Amino acid sequence: MRTSRAWWPLAGLIAGAVGLAVSYAGAALLHVRDSPVVAVAEGVIALTPGPVATWAIDTFGTADKKVLILGILAVLALLFGWIGRLAHQRWWAAVTGYAVLAGIAVVAVLTKPTPGLIDLAPVAAGLLCWLVVLAVLAEWLRRWELVEESGDRDAEPMHIRRRFLVALGGAAALAVAGGLVGRIAGSARRRAEQSRRLLRIEGTTAPAVPDGVGVGVEGVSPWQTSNDDFYLIDTAIIKPTIAPADWELRIHGMVERELRLSYADLVRREITQDWITLNCVSNEVGGDLIGNAWWSGVRLSTLLAEAGPLPGADAVLQTSEDGWTCGTPLAALTDERNAMLAVAMNGEPLPIEHGFPVRTIVPGLYGYVSACKWVVDLEVTRFSDITAYWTEKGWAEQGPVKIASKIEVPGHGADVPAGEVVCAGVAWLQHTGIAAVEVQVDGGRWQRATLAAAPNLDTWVQWRAVVDVEPGDHELRVRAIDTRGRTQTGAVAEVVPDGATGWHTVEFSAG
């Protein structure tokens, strides 16, 4: 069993794994939200161009962040192996490689909101482990090579090989132990979940689905979307976990008076509740990044009126606890719509993934300019003075929701009996409302569908139509008409910069 080049990359890989595991455990033990790998991943997300981010969402869906983390770990594994090879001949080069990786992590951590020295401790611990573990493994590898090169065939080579393999196994065990400690010590989420379960918010009620909102066709999305099924789009690798007692909101900027609100201050105010549909600007025509829920919270118009926006202000820069930002038209937060700081979803305190303890809901706007989860800061300002996360990536400054509709029955590629075919789906244009839906088969005349009820202008509406088709292949389209008489355009536009347009089309066969 002679030494080979493979042992040096393996030693570098194991040393790297130990450093990552220790930094992960250190972040958990010190209650630092972002371990170095997570901080780097979120930095990558922040620097990703808009078209690339859209491609990732379309390609990987809600698994996009897992794919990113796995990709970063794969790259690190290759780099650790390469650093191990460098250590064979040039120890200073291996040290430089580790220093560069640690430097990237430091930059990623320091660019997060309100970083402190404690946030750098996991990076320092990981770097120290890289250097110490690789130095120990390299020492035994060098001894092994010296004995092999001497040609001595007594028991010494076996003894040295054994010591190296024991050291290698011990380092691997330390990496596993560090990962387990990090997993066990990551109690921030558990504490937040416990406080959420115990929370009772006076003034919030469980939802009662209004009569007549469904068309009774199997395959159409439930009118109320459950918390578990509601779509998730955000940039946080690790969701912020904020206990209500630790949450505070600052309203400042171009205002007559600055306001600071604790969670207790907020929920003591009058609670407003409403059915509101949210949909993501990344939703393709016919996509499923949309959901409808019963939201409870405090009206933003009341809070902003207390702060007193100054003349000339036209925007509010919202900031999340994890540093994500969006610029929202001030008018949309102060007009008659039920824009709110939401504290409950479908009668329960917000799930952590959906912004617990407080998030922003603004009917009629896409989430990238309005729906700030884990919101902690509202700065009244001017659009001319700010940029926000997605607008820096080429998306439009303001994002009013576009009229849209989709076919859910029959599904694309379905086989149905010829004759009368039931078609059904949903349509939406929050803060304006849907007046009619029309369907078209094979380019023929447009036929009006029957609409279900809708409790307000801010929710989607289900529709149903019956079309008569001959045996063969067919193409079905849908379009909506809003309450102002405007018909949904058939012109196709991509999601960038301000939302997709076009008529949803499905193909099916009748026989």
Tokens found for residue 163: 């010591």
pLDDT at 451 over 70: yes
Q: What is the pLDDT of residues 416-429, one digit of tens each?
A: 999 999 999 999 99
The domain spans of the chain are 7-186, 244-393, 404-510
**Which ranges constitute the DSSP H helices of 308-348?**
330-334
pLDDT at 1 over 60: no
**Which ranges constitute the DSSP H helices of 4-49?**
7-29, 36-47
**Global pTM value:** 0.80
Q: What is the pLDDT of residues 365-417, one digit of tens each?
A: 999 999 999 999 999 999 999 999 999 999 999 999 999 999 999 999 999 99
Separation in Å, CA 86 to CA 72, 98, 133 = 21, 11, 15
Q: Quick one: CATH architecture of 404-510?
A: Sandwich (2.60)
Do 365 and 332 touch, CB atoms closer than 8 A? Answer: yes
pLDDT at 81 over 80: yes
C-beta atoms surrounding 155 within 10 Å: 8
State how beta strands 415-416 and 504-510 pair.
parallel
- b/e sequence 451-484, b meaning 16+ C-beta within 10 Å: bbebebbbbbbbbbbebebeeeebebbbbbbbee
Q: How confident is the model at residue 328 (pLDDT cuts 50, 70, 90)?
A: very high
Q: What is the pLDDT of residues 248-298, one digit of tens each?
A: 999 999 999 999 999 999 999 999 999 999 999 999 999 999 999 999 999
Helices 64-89, 91-110: inter-axial angle, 10-degree rounding:
150
Q: What is the pLDDT of residues 343-376, one digit of tens each?
A: 999 999 999 999 999 999 999 999 999 999 999 9
Q: How confident is the model at residue 114 (pLDDT cuts 50, 70, 90)?
A: confident
Q: How confident is the model at residue 38 (pLDDT cuts 50, 70, 90)?
A: confident
Q: Look at the alpha carbons of 29, 32, 38, 39 in this order and tell me if their dihedral is positive or negative.
A: negative
Q: What is the pLDDT of residue 151?
A: 63
Q: What is the pLDDT of residue 3?
A: 54
Which CATH superfamily groups domain 244-393?
Oxidoreductase, molybdopterin-binding domain (3.90.420.10)
Tokens found for residue 30: 């010190």
